Each structure stands twice: as structure tokens, then as C-alpha cells.
Structure 1
Amino acid sequence: METEMLPVAETALEKTHLRVGFVALSDAAPLIAAKVLEFGHRHGLTLELCRQPSWAAVRDKLLAGELDAAHALYGLVYGVQLGIGGPQADMAVLMVLNRNGQAITLSTRLARALDEAGNLKTALATLGRPAVFAQTFPTGTHAMWLYYWLAAQGVHPLEDIESVVIPPPRMVDALERDTLDGFCAGEPWHAVAEARGVGETVAATSEIWPGHPEKVLACRRDFVAQYPNTARALIQTMLEACRWVDAPSHREEIARWLAKPEALDVPFELIAARLAGREGGKRFPQPPLTVSFFDGGTVNYPRVSEGRWFIEQYRRWHLLRTRSGGEGNETASDAAIAAAINQTALYRDAATLSEVPIPGDTQTVFLCDGAAWR
């Protein structure tokens, strides 16, 4: 069950200095904006941003208490909660930070083989060996988008390819060394691969699930229990940052901050075009759905149904063992797990204080293979 929250009111913060982690990706923009513009000060907080080399580092430092909260893969939080492939701990999703904005890039050689073959499975056969695809964390969003996309193309992600984990900033180098045939990650690394001439973006994740959740504001659940007012103030801070970043007139400005060495250390031009939605790669005559950070508050609500989707994918790909007792019991159990992780009551309190509309709990989405999810 979620932590019981105090009535919505201005209350004293239990902690005012927070260490918040992020990985070098364009969708860390709200955290960068929150620090540069010091949105936290309006809510009694001082944020200390801590760039991390990988998602595993984010996980480890959250669990060790070296980070209070972090920009994190949605699926990272669920993987830790379920103890898949690493330590188990009770985790919390405070809010969704962005939707869309990820992609799949193939090596130039494989992209050209795909053009000639007309389908991915035939193109992969031209390599003469199992293809190697990278994602960023075994239970993360990128792994799940990659697996879902491959399966929709008739390629089994556990049998037909080799899947490896590589931190996002290292993927283009691996593609250039010819030790990698493709990867799924966030921007700006797809733009960097095309600029170097070593890869081509062939799919946007918004084509797999339009409006999919991506990064979240994550923390341990005991942080919420110990510092409920601070956690609520942090959500308010990040809602303000997400609203600021989402304004089209601010995308160029945040791209310049992201380009700095202490953030992404990538040329501004390679960040701005895709962050602003002007292009999605040379194969896209029309840009795909761009990364969205606020959209009137529709981006940020942590729906329980979206958390359930990740648990179902873990079962599909044998990361999580199917429980006995029937499908109905599994569905109820998954819903309970997701309701405990996704701090909807806390989010509602923060959104109410920030005068941010709260969207409905239910929605139906259609994925690239025609499957519906509610």
C-alpha cells in the first residue's frame, strides 16, 4: 500500500538539501533546468545534481543512500522492487519525467541490409553470426522497447540476437568499433551515431507505444515514509521544471545547458534538433513524436496500469517467473505491486498544490503489433 499522506497543506520540510542523480541523456533536461533556475528554492529545497556513469550506478547509489532521488528508467525501479538480477528493495516512483523520445539505431551496414532485404530477420541473416544489440539496463525501458520491437519484426530477442548492457554514452563507440549491430537508448546518442556515420535511426519508441512513459523521478520507499513533505516538495519542484522545459521556446535554451561538459558534453547541434522535434533522423521524412515533459500535466501522473505493463513484459521474457494460481491472481498481484510503487496519492497532493491538472487513472493504448493495453 502507498504511504498515507498528510492533508494537502504547506508543511515544514524534514530535509532541505537533496542529492539527485541523472545519466547523460537529453531527457535529463528537467533536472538540469531545476538546478540552473533553482526551482527548488521556491519549495524550500536545494538540489545537488550528481551525474552517474550508468543506470547500475544510479541503482546502487539510491540503495546505499548516496542519492536521495534520481532520474531513472521506469523499468529500473520495477526491476529493483522485484529483485530481478540484483538487490531487492522497496522502491517508489514519485512522478513520470517524460514520455517518448527514445529510438533504435542500427549499424550503417545492417541498416543498408534492411533496405535491401525488406525485413529485419532476413537482414540479420546477412551478418553470418548472431547480431549484438545493446540496451541500457536488463529490466529498463530500453530493453523492453527493444525486445517488443524485435518480436514485432519476427525476431526473438532471447534466441535470435545477443543482448548486452552498455551505458548510453558508450554505445556509439561500440558501434564504431563494429562490436555492436544496433542499440536502443535515449538521445542524443542516436543523433551522435548518425553524425559520425556509423549508424542510422530506424525506429522511434513512440512508434512502439505512442506516449509511452520513459524516465521517472525515483527514490526508495523509505525516503517517502521518512520525508513525506520533502518528497512532495520535490515533486512540485520537478513539475515546475517539466512545465518550463516543455515550452517550445525553451527547448533551444535547455539544449545549450545540456551541451555543457558537466551535463552531456555533446555538441549543442546534436542535442537541439531532436529535443525540439525538428527531426528524428535521416530516415524520417516527418519527425516522430518528440519527447514530452509536461503537456498540461498529462505526462507526469504515475499510472498504475503503466507499471503493470512492465511486470507483464518481465514475465513474457522470463525475467520474472509466472506465479501459480491463475491469470486473475497474477493481475491482482501485479496491480498491488504497482500501486505500492507508484505514489499516486503523494503525486495528487503535489499536483493540487502546484495547480497541475490530474489526468484519469485509466487509458487504453495500442502498441505497434496491434495489442491493446489498459
Structure 2
Amino acid sequence: MSPPYPHANINGSDAPEKPNVRLGFVPLTDCAPLVAAKILGLGRRHGLNIELVRQPSWAAVRDKLLSGELDAAQALYGLVYGVQLGIGGPQADMAVLMTLNRNGQAITLSNRLSEGLRQGRSLRTQLAAQTHQPVFAQTFPTGTHAMWLYYWLAAEGLDPLRDVRSVVIPPPQMSDAMALEQLDGFCAGEPWHAVAEAENIGRTAVTSGEIWPDHPEKVLACRRDLVALYPNTARALTMTILEACRWLDAPEHRREMAGWLSGPGYIGRASNLIAPRMLGDYGRTSAHALPLRFFADGEVNHPYLSDGNWFLTQYVRWGMAASSVLDGHLAAEINQTALYRQAAAALDIATADSDTRSSVLIDGRRWDGSNLHAYARSFPIQHDAHAAGHKAK
């Protein structure tokens, strides 16, 4: 396909200082903006040559961003904040250039637990009756999937750090692990929940958009020194991926993308397992599932400070960081709101009036980013950082 934006839109002063950019991605449906940018050649309009590099796990994304093997990557929102705080690994100053998508994740339960829920037995009751400790998988200790899983289990009356064992598994291995009866449930991105249902391994119990309607999910991330050293490159890359997100708004383009993602270099699963949920069709799973959003007239992509701060409150809640992380201006340092506004303005894309937004989550609590300490302390199920023993460095 010929790119929809064939003409360059740069001049000498705006030209990227680093024209060749290596972007990492993990084989998930929401890597679509990076794949669209590559296949459609959108980077050429902004003076960039993009190389996509598939990664086996989020830990690999982290490590290669830190080593410089990747210039930027599709990343879990919480991965960026976890690296910034040095939780469970190396610390580095990180940057969020833009949000890539909202919604589009889920929690799948084993067939046995799913059947119990359909018969009216609570998850808490079922797990308490098991003879083995329940095992739930997520994809990265500080990542979005861990936070959605913990939040949902707590809303169900379960302590995710005591009542279940949480393990980390790369997304493509989730359904296989459940098929081997190693997992009672898992939280990851698509299409791995669709795969589990198609293979009759498990059932989707809740979508992430039901846990936090229109939550932030993946981001375009890099080390902060890349923004400092190569600001034109960072802006050009943001513009390129913004155009890809805009292109993905059209349903016909999403169907085309599902075919591209099914290739062995990307997800490597049949497009009929990718396309339905990418288009918002969850079948019998849930009547309340919010669709995967990539653009929505630019509403999706703004790097809201309140989105980043939410993850900080959860790290404090689960004892992963001391409450002092809520005192500073970490989100304003990480989320490149000024650079994003420049990129969006150059593309005539509207930007948000404020860097904060509000939401009501599945437990009825309202989050608006106005009082981080009070919000973090408001949960009946939480852990102390000193007792947990893995606070931020």
C-alpha cells in the first residue's frame, strides 16, 4: 500500500538529529500503531527511517531501552514508571512521549472458575475452597496488567499479595500455561484472551475497560536523555505515531491491520482471532466491554499527568514504593506534555485543555489526580512499603 502522507514535512531546523530509529514492540494487538507507521512509511514524512524490533517480553523491552539497543518502544505505562523508580531493577530517567491506546486488555479465568461465576459463586469463595494456592499471571511487576489484576482482585475482596500467587509470564505464553493447568487466571493484552476462548482453555471474566473505563494502557516510551539530546527526533517520532493512531480510527483500516498483525513477524495468529476484539466485538464475553481506542480525534494520545500519577498511588498501595514518591513532580518530569502538544499542533490535532482527567473505577472510587496521598490511603486492602521489602530505590 502506498503511504497516505507521501510528502516530506520538514525543514533544516526541524530535521531529526537521529534519522534512523529502532522501535521495540511486543506481539500484541495494541502494537498496531508502530506496525502501521512502519508498513505505511509514515516516518518518511518526518525525516525518519523506522526499524521495528520484536521483543519476547516486557523485561526485554526494558533492558534494551536502558542499554540503548532500542531508541524507543511500545511500553506498558507502568513499566516506564517502575524503571523511573528503580522498582525491582535498574533505575533510569524515562520519558512518555504519548499514549498509544486505551482499553483492550482483559482477565481470563480457567473454565472451572468461569463456570462457578456463571453459577453465582463468587471468585473469593471458589478460591478459598481450592486445595492449592491460586496462581495468577501478569506480564511485568509494575506494569498495567499487574495493576489491573491487583485492582480487580481487591475489588472482589481478595488480597492479591496474600490470597493468590502472582507470577510473570510473557503474553504469548499465557494461554499455553493455562492449558497446562499452571494458572487459575491471567491478565494480558489481546489477542491472547481471544486465543484462550477459541481453544476452550478459559473465559474472559472482565475487560480492563470495565475495571477503569478508558484507562491508559501502552505508551511510546524512551529514555529521557533521548529527548534532551535529540528533541527533533522525539517530536518527529511522536508525530509519526500520532498519524498512525489517526489512521487506525477507521474500521476498514483496523481490519487491514488485523491481517498484517497475523503475520509471523508480528503476532503470528489468525486474523479472525485479532480482528473482532480490535473492532470492539467481544461476543458473549461482555456487554460492557469498552472498545480498544487508538486516537478518537486525539483524545486518547495526550500523556495526562493524572494517568501517570495513578500508577504511583498503586505502587504505594501495594507496598512497592514509599509514600514519598507522591510528594514530587515525577509525572511532570516523565510525561512530555509540552513536546506532545508541539507534535499534535503541527498535525492540527486538538489537545486537552488540562493535563489531568477524572474517572470512576470498578469499585466506585473516583480518581482525578487531585490528592495522591488521600487516594492511596483510601483502599481497605493495601500493604506497607517497609513490610513488603521491595520499595523504590
Query: Where on the TM-score scale, by shorter chain, does this alignment land: which range?
Result: over 0.9
Unaligned runs of 5+ in 2: 1-10, 369-393
- 1:113/1:126 contact within 8 Å kept: no
- 1:201/1:281 contact within 8 Å kept: no
* 1: CA distance, partners of 2:251 / 2:12: 32
Match of 2:351 among 351, 358, 361: 358
Match of 1:33 among 36, 40, 57: 36
1:249-268 equivalence runs, <5 A? 249-268=252-271
Say whether residues 1:60 and 2:63 are aligned partners.
Answer: yes
Could you tell me which amino acid in structure 1 is paired with residue 110 of structure 2? S
1:132-171 equivalence runs, <5 A? 132-171=135-174
From the superposition, tell whether residues 180 and 17 of structure 1 become closer, same or farther in structure 2 (CA, over 3 Å).
Answer: same
Could you tell me which amino acid in structure 2 is paired with residue 343 of structure 1? Q
Match of 1:3 in 2: none
- 1:102/1:204 contact within 8 Å kept: yes
* 2: CA distance, partners of 1:161 / 1:111: 17
* 2: CA distance, partners of 1:10 / 1:348: 18
Deviation at 1:313, TM superposition (A): 0.1
Match of 2:284 in 1: 282
* 1: CA distance, partners of 2:122 / 2:111: 15
Please list the CA deviations of residues 161-215 of structure 1 after superposition, one character each: whole Å capped at 9, or x if unmatched. Answer: 0000000000000000000110000000000000110100010010111010000
Match of 2:322 in 1: 321
SS in 2 for 1:21: strand
Deviation at 1:281, TM superposition (A): 4.7
* 1: CA distance, partners of 2:317 / 2:261: 36
Say whether residues 1:106 and 2:96 are aligned partners.
Answer: no
- 1:277/1:287 contact within 8 Å kept: no
Say whether residues 1:340 and 2:330 are aligned partners.
Answer: no
- 2:307/2:356 contact within 8 Å kept: no
* 1: CA distance, partners of 2:109 / 2:209: 17
Say whether residues 1:372 and 2:362 are aligned partners.
Answer: no
Match of 1:46 in 2: 49
Deviation at 1:101, TM superposition (A): 0.4
Say whether residues 1:130 and 2:133 are aligned partners.
Answer: yes
Please list the CA deviations of residues 269-327 of structure 1 after superposition, one character each: whole Å capped at 9, or x if unmatched. Answer: 0000100112x25332x36111000000000000111101000000100111233xxxx
Please list the CA deviations of residues 84-130 of structure 1 after superposition, one character each: whole Å capped at 9, or x if unmatched. Answer: 00000000000000000000000111211223353110121232221
Deviation at 1:362, TM superposition (A): 2.7
From the superposition, tell whether residues 10 and 247 of structure 1 become closer, same or farther in structure 2 (CA, over 3 Å).
Answer: farther
* 1: CA distance, partners of 2:293 / 2:31: 12
- 2:304/2:357 contact within 8 Å kept: no
- 1:117/1:123 contact within 8 Å kept: no
How many correspondences in the alignment? 357
Identity %: 61
Please list the CA deviations of residues 245-282 of structure 1 after superposition, one character each: whole Å capped at 9, or x if unmatched. Answer: 1212211100000000000000110000100112x253
Instruction: Tell me: higher relative CO, structure 1 or 2? Use CA pairs within 8 A at least 6 residues apart.
Output: 1
* 2: CA distance, partners of 1:189 / 1:287: 19
- 1:103/1:186 contact within 8 Å kept: yes
* 1: CA distance, partners of 2:100 / 2:344: 14
SS in 2 for 1:249: helix
Could you tell me which amino acid in structure 2 is paired with residue 101 of structure 1? G
Could you tell me which amino acid in structure 1 is paired with residue 98 of structure 2? M
Deviation at 1:338, TM superposition (A): 0.5
SS in 1 for 2:297: helix
Match of 1:236 in 2: 239
* 2: CA distance, partners of 1:123 / 1:355: 52
Report the more deviating stretch, 246-255 or 211-220: 246-255
* 2: CA distance, partners of 1:223 / 1:295: 28
Deviation at 1:13, TM superposition (A): 1.4
CA RMSD of aligned residues (A): 1.3
Deviation at 1:22, TM superposition (A): 0.1
- 1:200/1:281 contact within 8 Å kept: no
* 2: CA distance, partners of 1:9 / 1:15: 13
Could you tell me which amino acid in structure 1 is paired with residue 99 of structure 2? V
Could you tell me which amino acid in structure 2 is paired with residue 358 of structure 1? T
